[in-house]
Every structure is written in C-alpha cells, then in structure tokens.
Chain A
Amino acid sequence: MYRLAELWRTTTVRLTAIFMLIFIVFAVGLLGLIFWQTTIQLQRQQAEQIDRETFAIRRIDDDGGFRATILAIGQLASQPGPGIYYLADPTGQKIVGNVSDLPSEVVAEPGTYSFNYDRTPGLSDGGGDLRPRQGNALVRSEKLASGLILVVGRDVVERRGFTAIVFQWFAIGVGGILLFSLIAGIVTSVRVLRRVDTIASTSNKIMAGDLSERVPVTRRNDEFDALATNLNAMLDRIEKLMQGMKEVTDNVAHDLKTPLTRLRNKAESALLESKDEAARREALETTIEESDKLIRTFNALLMIARAEAGTPSGALNEIDLSAVVSDVAELYGPLAEDQGMVLETDIAEGLHIHGNRELLGQALVNLIENALKYYEPAEGKQGLIKVSLRSEGGRARITVGDNGPGIPEVDRGRVVERYVRLEKSRSQPGSGLGLSLVAAVARLHKGELRLEDNAPGVRAVIDLPA
C-alpha cells in the first residue's frame, strides 16, 4: 500500500486537503452566523413571552386582586418548562414561585435582570435530568397594583440547550462531509498514483534498455490514455531512430574498418618491401589514396548527418537555383563529353528558392556523377544525361535523367538508403552514400528525392518547395 508521505505528495490529496480547509472555514463561519442569529431570535422571543405573561398577570391582578394572582402564579410555577415565576409580598417575602433564592435587588427594585440561581427540583422538564443544577435566568420584576412583587423570567440554559443541539448536528454534518471527502481524496489519489506508477515503471524499463516496452492504454479514453498514446508514439519514434543509429554505426564500422584494414596492410607491406624503392613508393601512394577515400566517406557521412539534423551550418538562405544547376551542369559538361556522353540542359531561368547552395550543388554533383559512373557504352547508342530545372505548381523540380542501365523498380527505394549498393555497382568506386546524401539534402529543403523510370535509364527528381 502507499505510504502516507507518498500519498500526501500527490496532487489530488493536496487539492482535497485545500478544499477541506476552505470547507471548514466556511462551515465555521456559517455556524457562527446561525448561532448568532438564533440567539438573537430566541432572546427576542423570550423577551416577548416575558412581556406577554407579565401583562396577563397584571390584568389578573387588576381584575381579581392578589388572591387570583397568587393562584395563577402557583399554577404557572408548577408547570414544567423554562418559565420562572415568583411572587413576593411587599416586604419581599416569597409567597409562591419555582425559584427560591432570587438576588435581593431583583425583588427590591423593579426592572430587568440576568442572574444565576439554583434550580429547585421540579423545574426540570420531562427530558430527564441532564441540565445542570445551576441555572441562568433572564427575569423582569414588577410591582403589581395589589402591592405584590412579581418576577417573571425564562431560563436561558434552556435556550442554550437548543443552540447546543443545532451546533451538535451541524458538527456531525461537517465531520461527515470532511470524512467523506478525505476518503474520496485518498481513493482518487491512489487510483491516479496507480496510473502514474504504470507509466513510471514503463519508462523505468525503457531507461533500463528495453525500448520495446510501451505504456498500457486503457479503454477509458481519459487524459491518461491521451498521454500514454502520445508517449507511445514518441517511443516508436525513438526506437526507430535508435535502430537507424545502430544500422548507421554498424555500416560505418564496416565501411570505415574495411579501408582502414587495407590501409594498415599496405603500410605493413611497404615496411616489408623496404629494399625495393619503387614498390615501397607505390605502396605509400596507395596508402595515401586509401586514406583520401576514407576522408571522403567520412565527409559524406558528416554532411548527411548535418543535413539531416538541420544544424546552423545547413542554414538556408535565398539562392538562385537556376545558377546553381547551370553552374554544375557546365562544370560536368566537358567531362561527360570526354566519356562519350552528351550532357543536355533545360534550365528555367531566374528560379530562386530558400536553400543551401553548397549542399544542393553537392547533391546535383552526386546525381551527375552517378549517371557518368554507371554509363555502359554500347554500339549505336549515344550516352545521354539530361539535367533540367522546372518550376511546376509552386515547386522547383531538378531532374537528372540518363539512358544508362537504370535501376530495377524493386531496388529504387533501397538505393537511397545509406551504403546500399546494388550488386552490379560493386565494381565501381564510391562510398555508397551518394544518393542518401541527395535524399538528406532534399529532406533538409522540405522536399524529396524520387527515382523514376526513364525508359531506358533512370531519372532522379529532386522535388523542392519553391
């Protein structure tokens, strides 16, 4: 079970506690108000009752003289209730009444008084003898026409008893509500904690290395499920990225280790052939060549990583795409001719985009170099590379098409991946990173790289938002 401290830390319990505190403050305030109001009301009522009774007795006294008064008071005094009745002769001697020890000044001087007194047994009502022996009374004394002194009053303790009952029930009500909300708070907190705990334990497992773990989603479709669904989507993405990373590191390890091993072997054999100056020189030259290849692969990897991360060095600014395409085409035109191919251009003028000139140039170079590399001279066939730039429907499309061997449809998606080199191309030099760099550059520009059938040959399309 959850420990109290842990429970206290949960938001639900804190909220419940705050609500309870506010509730108590209001309840106490309300209670005070009720108490105050009923007290005033009861006081007024008692004063009115005293007034009425005094008035009635005065009339009895006026009409029937002191005998009738003594009789009436005797009757009233014997009835159960909160009433206090007392009759004294003009000297102050008690004649009849249900209290015995009135303070002397009450009898001596007419007026309104409040005082403590000892109850005489018999005053108590039928409700058992719960009330204290000591009473507190509000009385009025008056000199009647017959010369008798009348004291009429009400026991205030009675009144207090009433408010006590009100208070008691109120307290029970408030206590009940507090208890109930405390239980409700704890129950909801435990449930919330349980949901949070499943998420926490899942993320702990993931942090421990199990990336396949997912947060369970219930059918309640509540905010926790929304959170869990989001977390799961994020985990899917992370898992995919991690897989990608692993593939990349595996491939890097393979593609860098193989030439590194060759490099090392060359250096070793150069040491062994130290007697033959020419052989040694050749071995050293191959060593440098190999290391240049390594550097090239490394640079391509870095460039892809930067383009994919969209770091500041891959920053985009306003560039003349038409100039980039025609510059690169012009750079490679003579080379294509030397290799017996024709490089045709069809470049729309003055097309400006938000892009990175260096990266787009490199991407285009990679595409043209691919077309040159995989060209197979054949009898009666003119090798052709067509570089074009068109603006279509608010998009800029750079295409490099050739009439070479092409790429089988099943392989077209695959060649864009890093290090994928089709069997046929293994004999050609290259890092296997060319097209993945082009794809990464296209993605950096929020565009895409497509490989289409040029029938014959292949057409690479870099489709960019203009």
Chain B
Amino acid sequence: MLEAIAICLPILGVPVDGERLQEDIADELAGSPEGAAIPENAQGVGDPFPSGLDLDWLGSLADNLRFTMDLRGRFEYDTGREEWSISQFYGFDLFKVLSGPKGDYATILLQGFATRIDNNPAPPWFFDSPTDWEWVYRMFYINWKLLPRDALNLKVGHFEMPFGLEMLIDTNGTLRQVGTAPNLGIKADWGVTLNGVSNGLEYEVGLGRGSGNEWKAAGSPYALVGRVGTDPTRGWWVGVSGFSADLYRPGTTIERRRIGFDAGMELGAWTLMGEVSGGRNGQDDALHALGELNWRDSTEHWFGYGQLRTLKQRMAGNSWEGTFQSVLGVEWAPDTHWTLSAEWVQNLQRGMNDSRDSSIRLQARYRF
C-alpha cells in the first residue's frame, strides 16, 4: 500500500518530498471540520482500531469482507415500576461479497449476539425469564443474485420483516424503533425472500417459519410478508406493505394480518416520515400508526428524533384499546466506534396490561 502511494501521488500532481505546505494551510488542516466533536488532530489518538480489525491474516478469505465486533449496554428505567432493567449484547457483524469472473453473485450478512437481560419487564418469548442469556440472531442470511442488475435476488436465512419503515431504516441494535415487533408480533424470521430493484421500485417478498429467533414448527406457524416502495435516495418515498401470519408462541399460535402504507420526505436536515397499518389480531381489529420527525447535523454525528405512535386493537363491539406514546430520542456518534443514545418514551394514555408511565432508555455501543 505504501508503495502504491509512492507510485501514484506524484503523477496525480500532488506535491511530494520536501514541498511543505504553508503554515496557514497546515493550520486549516489541523483544525476541526465544522461540527466535529473531536478536533481532527486529536482523532485517532490512542485508538487501538483506527481502521477496524486487521483481517489480512485471513488471506484470500478477507477479500470483500467486512467484520466488526459489536458490543452494547442498554439501561432502561421504568417510572411505573421504579426499577432498572439492563440488557447486554456481545456479538459480531460480518458482511462478505462473493464475486466471480462475471461479477458479484451473492452477499452474506451474519449478525449474532450473546444477549443478557436483567429484570426485563417484557422479555421476548424465547427468553426463559426476565433475567436470562440467549443467543439472538439478527440478520443472518445469504442473498443470491438471480437476475442481472439486482432485478431479482433470493435471500435465504434469518431476515428482518420487509414491512413499512423497517425496510428503510436501520433499527438493528438501536434504541430507535419503528414499532415492527409489537405491531406484527415478529421482527425477524427464518425463511426466504425474493428481493430486488426494478423500474425504480424496491421490493421484497418473504415467507418465513413464523417462529422468529428459533425454528419452531409446532402448530405450523408461518409469516408471509412483503413491501414495494419507491427509491428513498431521491429525497422522498412511498411504500405499500402486506403481512399475513400465524406466529409461533409456546403452546399456541397467534394470527396477524396487516396492510400498511409508509411515506417520507427529506426537508434539508429534517426528515418527516410515517407509517400506518391496519388489519386483525386474531378476531380483533388492529391499528398501528407512527409519525416521526428527525434531524441530523451537517456531519451526521448528531441525530435527534421525535415520534408519536399508537398501537391499538378492538374486540367486536368494544372500543379501541392500546398504547399512545410520544418518543424523544438522540444519538451521538463522536467517532467511528462509539454511538451513545438516549430515549424518553412517554405513555400518553395507559393501555391494557401496561403499567408504564414513562421510561428512560440509555445505550452505549462500541464497534471495532
């Protein structure tokens, strides 16, 4: 690499060997870009992983490979219970592009976390108790290119539900969520999807086992899900989603049906987005809606968001019951490794089986 630098830079017209810059230029370079939390000349000092883990020892296996260790600690205080709950995540994030003489033919994404929960008031069903360890799969799949230009790909493995805003926003390991898990009853599942980009539209349609983190066949669960939407990089988007499932739960299955609509628009540093979906939870009508306004600074080190969200269901002849919440959150990424987050969730009305008035959530994440 150093040889390449020595070879290339002179021909590119960049001054070399002894052509020192004027002092004012050096001062400009040593200063911080606007909005930087850490002065440029102080960045990287003491960083043991300035460009991530060294993968060269893997030889050819390191070709087109990204690998990161991902560590998180999450702390949540519930004003209703007046108790803390703590979650810890120790895992990895692996991304590999498989490529041949005719080009890329598949990508592999593997994310797994040893997860510890302590005093969790509403643990996912696959945890044995409010205090427990489990291995949790997030994205864990291979995506094969079946047609040229990414028009059609086949994904096999553990995938996130391509429904609504979930398909567009990275909520993997973040405090910020868009309500997929409570709305659909499942956020990720083992199965297959067809996905791709065609005629300016992005789409993904999947069929899953319906049991989430673990493969469970009792009761013949399944999840059929799909979304079609416009390209969000153009500054706005709309999308339509559908979901039909009989989801595994210990000893039973639960039915979910949804049709959803999502849209968003970027306005300078602000983005306004929303999702609404309706359908059935078994015999009950169900409704989910979320609206978010978010802001980012020019360096995208700071990110703030506010949400209003509701999740309600109605038994025949009864009124709507459920949650209506406001959410305020902030994320700060001072460098390429750390992300510090905080979120305040306020129940605007008390829902069934929900004793929380508000909760404050804090998270520290370190990737290297």
A and B bind: no
Spell out B's residues near A (CB within 8 Å).
Answer: none
Spell out A's residues near B (CB within 8 Å).
Answer: none
